[in-house]
Amino acid sequence: MIIGQSGGPTAVINASLVGAIHEAQRIDAVDGIYGALNGIEGVLERRIVDLRRESPATLNALLNTPSAALGSCRYKLQPDDPERALNVMRDLGVRYFLYIGGNDSADTAHRVAQTANKAGYDLRVIGIPKTIDNDLPLTDHCPGYGSAARFVAVATMDSARCTEAMPTHYPVKIIEVMGRYAGWLAGSAALGKRTPDDPPHLLYIPERPFDKDAFLKRVRMTVRKRGYCVVVVAEHLIDAEGNQVGEVYGVDAFGHPLTAGVADTLVDLVRGELGLRARSDKPGDMQRMATMHISKTDRDEAYLAGRMAMRYAVRGVTGKMVTLVRATGSRYACETGLADLESIANEQKQLPADYLDADGTGVTQAFLDYARPLIGDPLPEHGQLRAERI
């Protein structure tokens, strides 16, 4: 078998890698376990490593190691690339191709599976889900999301305490988080709220058009009522005319716009229109791969997805992605299933309407019930003084 990692690294993507390796080691029919450095690029360029040479201690350490141990990539296959990749796998005697990634990676795996099928080559191709954006269709959630959601929730709690302590210094704080074109990660900032008055006071996500005037009105009202306002905003915001709120500075290999400065744009709005001091926080890559906030639930499910991908492949399954299926019942449990790669490739699952409140600037209890089991242990409890004056 050969396995690769693709797209943005996460805190638990290596757990999926280890799960697949452990399962392959258990199967007598698999006599070679290869890793492609930097995903499909490593296959095309024949940069292949022998994963059987890695020690058990190294693999166990990788279970709690963030980022992509094999290296990752954002590479869109060119017309002749699937056949080239297949030729490399044929030369190596590869019969199982496992690819860890998100929407675009599913497209890569799907095209390789199609090429193998047309060529009559018995190659079983299985996708292993991975994305902090949590936007893959046909799976309840995605490995990587739970840990990133935990980070965003705690970071929002911590950063908000600073703003609360010095409201006259910077009464408005805007925290920008990742998530591409879906609001799953931004919504997770609300997981740390204990009361309706707790921050974040406002959430802005891609699923709802951004209204500048309504935003300014809500910020002004929140500052008047509470003395300060903490806003969490997704990295991609679109206004009613379809324009990006932040600066567009290019596109990636798959044609997705690259934007920057959403939080800074909103800070300038607050300063210019309301005359209030404001500042921004942007966690950047830390939210994707912070070891200190790895969710045990997330890690264990990432490992399970890797193991099951190898198991499905040996059973003869191909052209599928492993999915996570939430079991029914009051107690959280998760199983695995399968979905067609073709149905995953380049598709996106956005936040359902019933997960947002009437204004679209907060989440409902339905979202909290959905997301809370995924972040693992309970979030820290911040203490607050009674502050009775004398």
Kindly report, residue by residue over 315-325, the tens digit of the pLDDT.
999 999 999 99
Residues classed as catalytic: 133
pLDDT of 251 over the 70 cut:
no
Joined together, the tokens standing for residue 282 give 């942007």
Q: Where in the chain is the domain with CATH 3.40.50.450?
A: 2-132+294-344
pLDDT the model gives residue 226: 95
Amino acid at 26: R
Other Cβ atoms within 10 Å of 320 Cβ, number: 24
Give the 3-state DSSP-derived string for 317-377, with helices as H, strands as E and coil as C: CCCEEEEEEECCCCCCCEEEEEEEHHHHCCCCCCCCHHHECCCCCCECHHHHHHHHHHHCC
CATH 3.40.50.460 location in the chain = 145-291+350-375
CB distance 230 to 200 below 8 Å = yes
- Residue 130, pLDDT score: 97
Is the CB of residue 293 less than 8 Å from the CB of residue 154?
yes
What is the C-alpha separation between 19 and 322, in angstroms, rounded?
A: 13
Q: Which of 172, 152, 205, 195 is nearest to 352 (CA)?
A: 205
Residue 215 has pLDDT above 80, yes or no: yes
pLDDT score recorded for residue 10: 97
Q: Average pLDDT for residues 12-29, to the nearest whole number?
A: 97
The CATH code of domain 2-132+294-344 reads 3.40.50.450
Mean pLDDT of 333-361: 95
- Split at pLDDT 50, 70, 90, the class of 346 is confident
Its CATH class, for the domain covering 145-291+350-375, is alpha beta
Is a pLDDT exceeding 70 seen at residue 97? yes
Amino acid letter, 296 = K
Per the prediction, the chain carries an average pLDDT of 95
User: What is the separation, in whole angstroms, between the first and last Cα of the chain?
Assistant: 72
